[in-house]
Amino acid sequence: MVDTRRVCFLLKVRADRAEEYRERHEHVWDDMRAALAEAGWRNYSLFLREDGLLVGYLETEDFERSRAAMESTEVNARWQAEMAEFFEELDGRAPDAAMRPLAEVFHLD
């Protein structure tokens, strides 16, 4: 049986760019979707609050391995470069590099 890890993270989208950020995610490139799936990102969802708080959720066997697999793709480099302008507090990092998983404290099976 494969051990699945649930990962939740927070990022901050610039509130004045939130609507455009939503619109961009209505048209995620097919090759980006394929790369995510190949890298082991499953059940990946993003939730955006009006003030720009972004909550991400995914399931994977190994988050660091899955993130590294995405980092090695050309499509991810293009996507991250386009999306970086939407975020606050990246400190020079790409948005995917700024993701810090939250500690899971409860899960109802």
Active site residue ranges: 25
Cα separation, 34 vs 91, in Å, equals: 28
CA distance 2 to 25: 30
Start-to-end CA span in the chain (Å): 16
